Amino acid sequence: MCRKPVFFIVLVIAFGGLLVACSWPGGQKISNYSPRLITPGMPVPKGGGVYKIGNPYQIGSKWYRPRVDTSYDRTGIASWYGDDFHGRQTANGEIYDMNALTAAHPTLPMPVYAHVTNLSNGRSIIVRVNDRGPYAQNREIDLSKKSAELLGFKKQGTAPVRVRYVGQAPMTGSDAYEINYLNQQTWYRRLIGGSYRYSQIRASSDKRNSEKTLEQTGKERVVGYLPWKEVTSADIQNDFQPVFQIEAGVYFNAKAAERTSGSLIGIETLRTELRHNNGKTMFTVLLGPYRTRLEAERVLREVHASGLPDARIMELP
């Protein structure tokens, strides 16, 4: 993708027709779109692209040289792109989902993980780089609409950021890693409805004082958080009622856990947790939390139907 229409012809020549769309930073609309492959409102498939570094290319008078740079760590200005590109192909052949944690970058390989911090408010996220751009005004990175919302600059259009290379992302398109990281961020837990909305707090037997005790001791066992959920007043009531989750599988091999996660893509509360037992690392694929057993049982039927008959519901203590 490019980020300014004046460069469209140049990019078509440089990429041999692989260019999919162009946009102004901050989500503004322009023309020259590739076909929309996914109708708005329909689920966007994950993965499906190729690993790509790419050859050096020129935009205007500036050359860009994609390469693997594990020490990549730069600051600059981030922009975002959204609705006009939703459902269209990215530079590595995946489908752009404005509600996923993804990004476009001029030189990083695709797909890779990048750690992005908004320097104006301290928020940080992990994004999946699967597209090319931006090119306007030497901007550093072009984030998805959801990423800009989470980092708190969607309304402003741009923000100063720090971008660091994390590692190669799975070709399946699994977003478990990005969501796991997000769920660990205190600012995000507060954003979706209170610091400890889906946590089991046992620092004090007095539920009224649990939150205060937690703040003093810093002891909290995070169960998980529902990504992208709109928070209502009802959501933050009865924080200490039973919480349920589904254990889909436990593995000593990360690839096995990734395969299981891939078979469950589409269930929004999917995540993978790392646990340690007798010096060994285990990868546990979990879904939830769910506020009622009835809700958990509904999802469990989906999990069983996906080919995981041993999945089970767990009530968290």
pLDDT tens, the chain, 317 aa long:
544 333 332 333 333 333 333 444 444 444 467 788 988 888 899 999 999 998 999 998 899 999 988 889 999 999 999 888 999 999 999 999 999 999 999 999 999 999 999 999 999 999 999 999 998 888 999 999 999 999 999 999 999 999 999 888 888 888 888 888 888 788 887 777 643 333 332 323 333 333 333 333 333 333 333 333 333 334 333 333 457 889 999 998 888 888 888 888 767 567 777 777 777 888 888 887 777 788 888 889 989 988 999 999 988 65
Per-residue pLDDT, 189? 79
Burial of 278 (0-12, 13-18, 19+ CB in 10 A): exposed
What letter represents residue 105's amino acid?
Answer: H
SS (H, E, C) the chain: CECCHHHHHHHHHHHCCCCCCECCCCCCCCCCCCCCCCCCCCCCCCCCCCCECCCCEEECCEEECCCCCCCCEEEEEEEEECHHHCCCECCCCCECCCCCCEEECCCCCECEEEEEEECCCCCEEEEEEEECCCCHHHCCEEEEHHHHHHHCCCCCCCEEEEEEEEEECCCCCCCHHHHHHHHCCHHHHHHCCCCCCCEECCCCCCHHHHHHHHHHHCCCEECCCCCCCCCCHHHHCCCCCCEEEEEEEEECCHHHHHHHHHHCCCCCCEEEEEEEECCEEEEEEEEEEECCHHHHHHHHHHHHHCCCCCCEEEEEC
Q: How much is the pLDDT for 17?
A: 33
Other C-beta atoms closer than 10 Å to the C-beta of 22 total 24
Rounded to 5 degrees, φ, ψ at 44 are: -100, 120
pLDDT, one tens digit per residue, over 114-124 is 999 999 999 99
How far apart, in whole angstroms, are the C-alpha atoms of residue 52 and residue 65? 13
User: What structural domains does the chain harbor?
Assistant: 5-173 (2.40.40.10), 177-316 (3.30.70.1070)
